[in-house]
Amino acid sequence: MSSWQKVYSDQLMYRAEIVKSVLLENDIKSVILSKKDSAYQFGHYDVMVTPDNVLQAIRIIKEDINFE
């Protein structure tokens, strides 16, 4: 897992899941790494991809996903 790189981070789990799903639709394998503290409920979720998919994943996130 140490070679995987973060391409997206959010405090809301469902947004990280949407990003992961969109990446999967584009044949990019990703994982969600929880940085959320279970006792105090603060932190965030990181979407991680392999190094060879970083640029493509960032492009897809910027062009295809809008949470506003």
CATH code at position 28: 3.30.70.1530
Q: What's the total number of domains in the chain?
A: 1
Per-residue pLDDT band at 1 (split at 50, 70, 90)? low
Dist. CA 39–CA 49, nearest whole Å: 28
**pLDDT tens-digit readout, 11-43:** 999 999 999 999 999 999 999 999 988 777 789
For 38, the domain range is: 5-64
Q: Which of 42, 41, 33 is nearest to 8 (CA)?
A: 33
Does position 2 have pLDDT exceeding 80, yes or no? Answer: no
Can you tell me which residue has the tokens 């994943």? 57
Which pTM was predicted? 0.88
Give the residue carrying structure tokens 């910027």: 62
Sign of the four-CA dihedral 40, 43, 49, 50: negative
